[in-house]
Amino acid sequence: MGLTIGVDIGGTKIAAGVVDEAGAIIETHTVATPSTPGGIVDAICSAVAGAGEGHRIEAVGIGAAGYVDDKRATVLFAPNIDWRHEPLKDKVEQRVGLPVVVENDANAAAWGEFRFGAGQGHEDVIVITLGTGLGGGIIIGNKLRRGRFGVAAEFGHIRVVPDGLLCGCGSQGCWEQYASGRALVRYARQRAAAAPEAAAVLLGLGDGTPEGIEGRHVSEAARQGDPVAVDSFRELARWAGAGLADLASLFDPSAFIIGGGVSDEGELVLEPIRKSFRRWLIGAQWRPHAQVVAARLGNRAGLVGAADLARQG
Amino acid sequence: MGLTIGVDIGGTKIAAGVVDEAGAIIETHTVATPSTPGGIVDAICSAVAGAGEGHRIEAVGIGAAGYVDDKRATVLFAPNIDWRHEPLKDKVEQRVGLPVVVENDANAAAWGEFRFGAGQGHEDVIVITLGTGLGGGIIIGNKLRRGRFGVAAEFGHIRVVPDGLLCGCGSQGCWEQYASGRALVRYARQRAAAAPEAAAVLLGLGDGTPEGIEGRHVSEAARQGDPVAVDSFRELARWAGAGLADLASLFDPSAFIIGGGVSDEGELVLEPIRKSFRRWLIGAQWRPHAQVVAARLGNRAGLVGAADLARQG
Amino acid sequence: MGLTIGVDIGGTKIAAGVVDEAGAIIETHTVATPSTPGGIVDAICSAVAGAGEGHRIEAVGIGAAGYVDDKRATVLFAPNIDWRHEPLKDKVEQRVGLPVVVENDANAAAWGEFRFGAGQGHEDVIVITLGTGLGGGIIIGNKLRRGRFGVAAEFGHIRVVPDGLLCGCGSQGCWEQYASGRALVRYARQRAAAAPEAAAVLLGLGDGTPEGIEGRHVSEAARQGDPVAVDSFRELARWAGAGLADLASLFDPSAFIIGGGVSDEGELVLEPIRKSFRRWLIGAQWRPHAQVVAARLGNRAGLVGAADLARQG
Amino acid sequence: MGLTIGVDIGGTKIAAGVVDEAGAIIETHTVATPSTPGGIVDAICSAVAGAGEGHRIEAVGIGAAGYVDDKRATVLFAPNIDWRHEPLKDKVEQRVGLPVVVENDANAAAWGEFRFGAGQGHEDVIVITLGTGLGGGIIIGNKLRRGRFGVAAEFGHIRVVPDGLLCGCGSQGCWEQYASGRALVRYARQRAAAAPEAAAVLLGLGDGTPEGIEGRHVSEAARQGDPVAVDSFRELARWAGAGLADLASLFDPSAFIIGGGVSDEGELVLEPIRKSFRRWLIGAQWRPHAQVVAARLGNRAGLVGAADLARQG
């Protein structure tokens, strides 16, 4: 009783998981991600059917990258899939015969962390996901805040540098160009190109060229103390922390939860983020400070969060 | 019946107004603003007594510049008055014998606009006050959002230029250094110094020097079409609109309400703000756009909003 | 007598011209640009032979995009051709039997303008070429200043925005990302995407989409008064003029000569550049101001300048 | 034989020194700096007379802060003294009966370093003086380059941050706001305010408050390894080095000589400057790199340089 299914649409696979009321994943079913928009709908339904077999499922929650409308029914725009005003809720409901809730994937992950992860015990939290890009979700007063039209919490695209780096969104100077896994790699490559001798460890982990540096090399090299890798994490942390200070001015949450692949490095990246956060926090001596803590659910957050949102209807 | 009092603490005078359930001000009592922190408490009580005489008052709401705690009782820090952890609610309640609610003045004004001004009919609005500085308030789901510790909605101090202008808050590059009445005057002075011949009208309204230019001169000159004054408003609007686009990415409200002295110029400043907002809005073609509208209550918003918040307890 | 040959290496053709002491081009010979580095050397020699036939030539000057060493002999690095430490002078001298001088193409064009164009009568001028990118040359005390190692005057790559746009050079925030033909097109596309209705003329000149906008469309639309095109030129001019103000602080020349395709628009672009220059010029009231004037030789400047530098040896 | 006098006008004293052809100071005479413009002229003459007594002096060179015209005769504008179009050369020549050359003080110091200090053996050097502000001088082809109107080499006022910090010159984002002794103190104060516990050593050297931190405290604390002080020097070095990279793109000198009080810290500041310089140097792998070295003459550079310029006439 009380089981729902959460769906996570990834670039290579689509995972559906049966989740109980405590946020535990009972069973998972995974299918490869098709290349066509219609194929993806089929695959979602197939994954849901596979996972739900033998369980009594009450509802389905789907986390999708992109803009989801205020009714949590239609994907207005998905950057990676060719979905434009896609009535995903209706299509899947007809096929699986269960109530469906569609949610932005970063919102779903934020909700997962709030309910079952690092956000427990808080009422007002901001979750920031430092993955390839930068996303997140807003919980105020124990509720996920989606905005009037469903497209709030697009943290990655606030402008932190006027006339700054071009972003895939068409704008310039977006936060995710400076605080994300992609930014981390850029920092490392630029620094390694300027000072190859100092980046010996880092370069050695890849093919020896700055262009060959990948995110996992920067993480590994930083763990080994490579100065260029450490400095690259610091640069990312500088931007991340300064942005959190802005969000504290706006939202004044009791906690910031940092998730995503970059946060896998734990204190290596969290501590410099905290330092930068304190450096830029306005009125720091006159206010209680939000905690800056690591997410706990890893990449399960989105699936678990989507399932829980479906439960709540 | 159903009357409450709102108090507005200004630099030169303290106004208390009796406000009915429809947001109408029935009666106002004003006293000069004393120079000592204790004197101000006295003056608030005196203004409340004066206004309330002959009315049956249920509660008092006080709008104060500064950080107000999560209980809406204590002023943690007031930039202009020497209040630090000042238990204003308790002090005034003891003296006036009525329930008191303390609120940040920009929050109070935002609430006033939401309830009785340009925000009516909306559930999610951001109010931005372009006065000498830049302040505002957040309404989400018909509720004022104050943050976990009471200090949310400090819009003026998000960083829009890394390594930018020094701000009175101790930080650099704060939005209010680029979008506020003070910024407007700086733009006009810089431009008039660089091109005095083009700023003839503007300079003629003051004492003839760039330093002699005041905000009212820029407004008057802009109305007369002075190119330097018009360009100064455009510069302010560029920064204001770009900031609204960031807030749309975060909050996705249905409306932005622009108040404060700068907004008195109406479409002269609103239209370029809208233009800049659209220019920088992310995903503009895939989402409904928030309206950008003028506030309606003028400088009554704070008093009316504080009174209404007191009613709601 | 007194004839030299100047060579201009373009992306599609290589032009050699016989130039007299007054800077007049007597005869030109053009060959298509081969795709291999070695082929280009052959083509240069062939063009020189073709142009020189029947003339008594004293020397050859070659303008090449890239870093040319302090001896004006070796191309250290050419961004568009695969030349790395290419001993161009020696190779061509051996083949054509004449003294050869190699010079950076923007330096050569600057020298051409100084000797026979808008720089006549000046002793200290900075030439800025606003083409696809931004280049230029420095004349101080009637001499071309190449730096100690030959690579001075790389104007396009001074950093005008920290953490700004990525540049082909590997750095960020380079001036040419904000003031160049490529920047102009970016400005126009961004503005047309944000406000398609205001860009009707501009969009109509291309294929109707922002991405279809080319530089010539922006120029044509600006001439027709299209507000988005005019605004794009203004944005370019803002950055160009602010950069000139920096160069005035450093070099204090008597004139800035603006060449390149963007400058073909004449006062449409020069006047806003001057306005921005005055706006940002430091100590403007205490110093004589450099003139900001259009180049006169068009795309002949490089060839004529290279020929003249060859004459001077 | 071959003796000239150099004059250094400081905020508290005016020093005149007799200098021989090898740059050695034979004798010095110092007077207190008067508070009136006219008094300063008197004091200069008095100092010259005092120093020159008993020597056969050929000429006098005066280094003055401010704009000096192309004839090296008139101070167009002095920021600290109320001189506007002050004919200093004529006034002093009439009084002391010797040929007088007036030069910008930073230019004079640059020349001193070039002739007798760290610039010996070079033909093309840029001298950067990191004092309270940021100044410097340009030597190209063994000659001091003053610009067409005498006001070149105002390095401190190139714009490195658009919309950046206000500068005393009236502009914004000037380099000296980010790379100078004053900037160093600002960095230290901001960091100490944000992280007082980390700045214990630094705060202990002053009065315990961020505002009480002076430049000498930052230097002393950095020598003791205080992390906040070290980080403040690094921030300064980041900006200094990035600016040098820009100057390398423009001037391509064989050496940058770093003088001024900040450079007294030697490798503590020079090494991070070099690191930042390499980080931002364009085309680093294809060009010889300029050296970045410490000045050698300390605060004698200006006096010695002025004397030598006077010798050269």
Which tens digits make up the pLDDT trace of D270-305? 999 999 999 999 999 999 999 999 999 999 999 999
Q: Which residues of C touch A192 (CB under 8 A)?
A: none
Tell me the C-alpha distance between C8 and C64, whole Å. Answer: 7
Tell me the C-alpha distance between D5 and D29, whole Å. Answer: 10
Tell me the C-alpha distance between A67 and A48, whole Å. Answer: 22
- Residues of C near B (CB-CB distance < 8 A)? 162-163, 190-191, 194-195, 275, 278-281, 284
Give chain A's mean pLDDT. Answer: 96
Cβ distance A283 to B141 less than 8 Å, yes or no, reads no
Closest Cα in chain B to D171: B190
Cβ distance A283 to B246 less than 8 Å, yes or no, reads no
- The DSSP secondary-structure symbol of C211 reads G
* Helical ranges in C206-265 per DSSP H: 215-223, 227-251
Beta bridge partners of A57: A3
Identity of the amino acid at B235: E
Query: Cα B62–B64–B66 angle (5° rounding)?
Result: 150
Cβ atoms within 10 Å of D153's Cβ, excluding its own: 26
> Pairing between strand A255-259 and A125-130?
parallel
Q: To the nearest whole angstrom, how far is the Cα of B78 from the nearest Cα of chain A?
A: 10
- The DSSP secondary-structure symbol of B98 reads S
Question: For position C70, what pLDDT does the model report?
Answer: 97
Cβ atoms within 10 Å of C268's Cβ, excluding its own: 18
Cβ burial D66-75 (10 Å sphere, 16+ → b, else e): bbbbbebbbb
- SS3 category, B291: strand
Task: Read off φ and ψ for residue B31, nearest 5 degrees.
Answer: -130, 155
Residue A203 confidence class, pLDDT cut points 50, 70, 90: very high
- Residues of B near D (CB-CB distance < 8 A)? 161-166, 170, 172-173, 178, 190, 193
> Pairing between strand B291-294 and B25-32?
unpaired
| DSSP secondary structure string for all residues of A122-159 | -SSEEEEEESSSEEEEEEETTEE---SSS----GGGSB
- Using one digit for the tens of pLDDT, what is the confidence trace for C26-67? 999 999 999 998 999 999 999 999 999 999 999 999 999 999
Question: For position D182, what pLDDT does the model report?
Answer: 97
Chains that touch D (3 or more CB pairs under 8 A): A, B, C
Tell me the C-alpha distance between A264 and B308, whole Å. Answer: 47
A82: pLDDT strictly greater than 90: no
Question: For position B82, what pLDDT does the model report?
Answer: 87
| Contact between C159 and C173 (Cβ < 8 Å) | yes
Q: Which of B162, B190, B194 sits opposite C163 (nearest CB)?
A: B162
Question: For position D281, what pLDDT does the model report?
Answer: 97
- SS3 category, D71: coil
Query: Cα A78–A51–A313 angle (5° rounding)?
Result: 60
Tell me the C-alpha distance between B81 and C294, whole Å. Answer: 57
Q: Which of B162, B194, B284 sits opposite C284 (nearest CB)?
A: B194
- Using one digit for the tens of pLDDT, what is the confidence trace for D43-62? 999 999 999 999 999 999 99
Beta bridge partners of D126: D138, D256
Retrieve residue A147's tokens.
């905005």
Chains that touch C (3 or more CB pairs under 8 A): A, B, D
Which of C158, C291, C292 best probes binding to D when mutated, by most D CB atoms within 10 angstroms? C158
List, in order of start, the domains of chain B with CATH numbers.
Answer: 3-111+300-312 (3.30.420.40), 122-295 (3.30.420.40)
- The DSSP secondary-structure symbol of B174 reads B
Cβ distance C195 to B279 less than 8 Å, yes or no, reads yes
Closest Cα in chain C to D289: C149
Question: For position C237, what pLDDT does the model report?
Answer: 98
User: Which long-range contacts link A51-54 to residues 24+ away (Cβ below 8 Å)?
Assistant: A51/A5, A51/A16, A51/A17, A51/A18, A51/A27, A52/A5, A52/A16, A52/A18, A52/A96
C68: pLDDT strictly greater than 60: yes
Residue D2 confidence class, pLDDT cut points 50, 70, 90: confident
Q: Which residues of B touch C275 (CB under 8 A)?
A: 195
- Residues of C near A (CB-CB distance < 8 A)? 161-166, 170, 172-173, 178, 190, 193
Retrieve residue A93's tokens.
């409901």
A19 to A22, A307, D239: CA distances (angstroms): 8, 6, 53
Q: Which residues of D touch A284 (CB under 8 A)?
A: 194
Which of D142, D149, D175 best probes binding to C when mutated, by most C CB atoms within 10 angstroms? D149
Percent of chain D at pLDDT > 70 equals 100
- Residues of D near A (CB-CB distance < 8 A)? 162-163, 190-191, 194-195, 275, 278-281, 284
* pLDDT (average), residues C234-239: 97
Q: Which residues of D touch C280 (CB under 8 A)?
A: 159, 171
Residue A80 confidence class, pLDDT cut points 50, 70, 90: confident
Residue C261 confidence class, pLDDT cut points 50, 70, 90: very high
A1: pLDDT strictly greater than 60: no
Which of A138, A244, A287 best probes binding to B when mutated, by most B CB atoms within 10 angstroms? A287
Q: Which residues of B touch C162 (CB under 8 A)?
A: 162-163
Among the listed residues B210, C289, C282, C285, the one whose alpha carbon sits nearest the alpha carbon of residue D84: C285
Q: State the 10-residue block means of pLDDT for chain B, 313 residues long.
A: 91 96 97 93 97 97 96 94 94 97 98 98 98 96 98 98 96 97 97 93 96 96 95 97 98 98 92 97 95 97 98 88
Question: For position C296, what pLDDT does the model report?
Answer: 97
Beta bridge partners of B30: B15
Instruction: Compute CA A171 distance to the chain's CA centroid, rounded to the nearest angstrom.
Output: 20
Cβ distance B194 to C162 less than 8 Å, yes or no, reads no
User: Which long-range contacts link D263-269 to residues 24+ away (Cβ below 8 Å)?
Assistant: D263/D130, D263/D294, D263/D295, D264/D219, D264/D298, D265/D219, D265/D222, D265/D223, D265/D233, D266/D294, D268/D222, D268/D223, D268/D233, D269/D130, D269/D233, D269/D236, D269/D237, D269/D240
Retrieve residue B33's tokens.
């603003």
Which of D169, D246, D292 best probes binding to C when mutated, by most C CB atoms within 10 angstroms? D246
Q: To the nearest whole angstrom, how far is the Cα of D273 from the nearest Cα of chain C?
A: 16
C210: pLDDT strictly greater than 70: yes
Tell me the C-alpha distance between B95 and B49, whole Å. Answer: 10
Give chain D's mean pLDDT. Answer: 96
* pLDDT (average), residues A238-253: 98
Question: For position A252, what pLDDT does the model report?
Answer: 98
Among the listed residues C31, C77, C65, C35, the one whose alpha carbon sits nearest the alpha carbon of residue C50: C31
Cβ distance D162 to C157 less than 8 Å, yes or no, reads no
D1: pLDDT strictly greater than 70: no
| Contact between B35 and B13 (Cβ < 8 Å) | no
- The DSSP secondary-structure symbol of C146 reads -
Closest Cα in chain C to A165: C165
Q: Which residues of B touch D159 (CB under 8 A)?
A: none
Rounded to 10 degrees, what is the CA torsion of C38, C42, C45, C48?
-110
Chains B–C, number of C-beta pairs less than 8 Å apart: 23
Residue A128 confidence class, pLDDT cut points 50, 70, 90: very high
